[in-house]
Chains A and B, each alone.
Chain A
C-alpha cells in the first residue's frame, strides 16, 4: 500500500510539474499583458508535433532543444500580428482571439499530422526503470522532473537576476511607469509572450514522451493550469508553481483511494481557496 501511495505521489508530482510549467507560461503572459492565452494547450501540442517532426534529423536531444525555440518563434509571430492589437482593449476580445486560435491550432495539427495518436520514441537509456523495487522510477520520469526543475529555476534566475527579468517584474506592477522610464514596452511584451510560449513548447516535448501525440494533448492540461493559477494566486509566479504541484499531488493521492474523483479534487481545492482566500494562496490583495 505504501508503495502504491508513493507511486501515486510521485506520479502526482510529475503531472503537477507539467501543470506548473504550463501555468507559469500562462501566468507570465497574463501578468504582463492581461491576456488569458487559451491557445496555450495548442502551443503545447505544436511543441510535441514539431519535436516529432525534427527528431529524425536532430535526434531526441536535438529536438528537445530546438522544438521549444521554434514554438516560441511562432508564438512571438502570433503576438506581433494578432495579440498585440488587443492590448488595452476589454479582456473579452483577447480571450475570444485565443479561443479562435485554439480551434485553429487543434484543427491545423490534425490536418498536418493526422488525428491518430503518433508514437514518440524516447532514448532507451532513459526508458529503463532505475530499480526493480521502485519500478515506476524510470529514467525518463526522473529526467523529466529534473528538466522541469531546471526550467523553473532558470525562469526564476532570469526574472530575478537579469535586466529583462527586472523589467518584466516591474512591468507586471506598473507598465505605464516602466514605459515612461524609456523601456520599449512593445518589445518587452513580445519577448515575455515568447518566454511563456517557450515553456508551453517545452512542456509539450516532455509530455508527448509520456502521453503520446494527439491533437488534443493540450486540452487535458490547460484546465488544471488555470486551477493552478487560481489556487496559487494571480500575479504570483511562486504561487503558480506551488498551485501546480499541489493540485498534481492532490489528484495523485486521490487516485489511490477514489480514482474517479482525481479530477474533481482539483476543483474542490479551487472552490475552497476561492471561499477562504479569494486572492489565492500567495496572491496579492486587491490586484483583481
Chain B
C-alpha cells in the first residue's frame, strides 16, 4: 500500500508541474512564479540531500547558489553569449568552490558546522559586493539576456516565451531530481542514511564518514548551483542578495516547512513560501517582519513540516 501511495504522489507532482503554465494564469497567478517555485524547489531539494538525508546542517548554501548565478551572468555578459555554455561555467564555479571549502568543514559537526558554512558563505557575498568593477557591486549584474537554445533541428526561444522558459527550467529540474533520487536509492545513498541515523555505528562499520559527508556536500552544492544558474536566467539579473545569509535561511525554512524527511517536501515548502511571499510583499512594505514571523511560527508549531504531519496522520 505505501508503495502505491508513493507512486501516486509522484504522478500527482509531475502532472501538476507539467500543466502549471495552463492552470497558473487561471488561478490569478503568472508563469514566472511557477518558474521561481521550480527553481527554489530545486535549491531546497539539493539542500535536503545534505540536510535531510545526510543529517548535516548547512546554512551557507546561498553561496553556491549565487556563484552559479554569477558564473552564468558573467559568462553571457562578458565571454560567450550562449545559455548552455554559461550554465556549465556557473555550475563548475559553484561546485569547485564547494569542493575546495568542503575539506575544511567536513570534520566539524552540528552547530559548529552550521556556523562555518554561514561564515564561508559570506566570503562570496563580500566579493560580489566589493569587486564592483566586475560584479556590478550592490547594483548587481544586469544588461544581459538569456539566449535562445539551439537544439539543431529547432531553436528554443526561452527569452521571449515564458512558457518555453518554464519548460526548460522544468526539464533541468527533472534531470537533476532524477539523478538525486537515483543517488539516494543507490548503496551510496543508503550509506548517507546510515551516517544520518548513527554516525558512530557507521564509522565502526568501516565507512569513511568524513569522505561521504564531503561527497554529499559537493553533490548538494552542485545542484544548488544548477538552481542558481536558472535563477540568474529567470530575471536576466543577479545581485549580491542572492548570496546573502538570508537566502540560505530561506532554503532551510522551505525544506523544514515542506518536510525534511520526505523527497518532495522541499518542493511543497518552496511553493507555499513563495506564494505567501508574493502575496505579502504586494500588500505591505513590512513583509520582512511577516517572513520573520513565519520562520518563528514554523519552528514553534510546525517543525515536522507539511508532509511530516501528513505522514504521521497516515501512520497507524
A→B interface (CB under 8 Å)? 30, 34, 36, 82, 85-86, 89, 91-97, 99-108, 111, 223, 226-227, 229-230, 234, 260, 263-264, 267, 270-271, 274-275, 278, 288
Bound form: Cα–Cα A151–B256 in Å = 39
A92 to chain B, nearest CB (A): 6
Scoring B57, B114, B300 by chain A CB atoms within 10 A of each residue's CB, the highest score goes to B300
Is the Cβ of B119 less than 8 Å from the Cβ of A223? Answer: yes
Residue of B nearest to A227 (CB): B119
Q: How far is the CA of A101 from the CA of B292 in the complex (A)?
A: 6
Known: A230-B119, A278-B107, A288-B109. Contact between A99 and B246, CB under 8 A?
A: yes
**Additional pairs, 7, CB under 8 Å, beyond known A104-B292, A107-B286, A288-B112:** A91-B57, A100-B292, A101-B292, A103-B246, A107-B288, A111-B286, A264-B127
Contact call A263/B114, Cβ cutoff below 8 A: no
For the complex, give the distance between the alpha carbons of A99 and B104 in Å: 25
**Contact between chains at B119 and A100 (CB < 8 Å):** no
Classify the interface of chain A: helix, strand, loop or mixed.
helix
Report the Cα distance A16→B280, complex, angstroms.
39
Please report whether the interface of chain B is mostly helix, strand, loop or mixed according to DSSP. helix
- What CA separation (Å) do A97 and B249 show in the bound complex? 10
Contact across chains for A274 and B116 when beta carbons are under 8 A apart: yes
| Interchain CB contact under 8 A, B111 and A34 | yes
Decide: B252 and A96 in contact? CB cutoff 8 A: yes
Asked if B256 contacts A234 (CB within 8 A), the reply is: no
For A264, list chain B residues within 8 Å (CB).
Answer: 123, 126-127
Contacts of B127 in A (CB 8 A): 264
Name the one of B114, B123, B249, B293 contacting A91, with C-beta atoms under 8 angstroms: B114
In the complex the two chains form, is B291's CB within 8 Å of A30's CB?
no
Q: CB-CB < 8 A to A108: which residues of B?
A: 289
Q: Does B168 contact A (CB under 8 A)?
A: no
Measured between beta carbons, the chain A residues less than 8 angstroms from B256 are 92-93, 96
Is there an interface contact between A86 and B299, defined as CB atoms closer than 8 Å?
A: yes
Residues 9-21 of B, flagged 1 when their CB comes within 8 A of A and 0 if not, give 0000000000000
How many Å from the CB of B48 to the closest CB on chain A? 12
Give the CA-CA distance A265 to B113 in the complex, in Å. 21
Residues of A within 8 A of B123 (CB): 264, 267
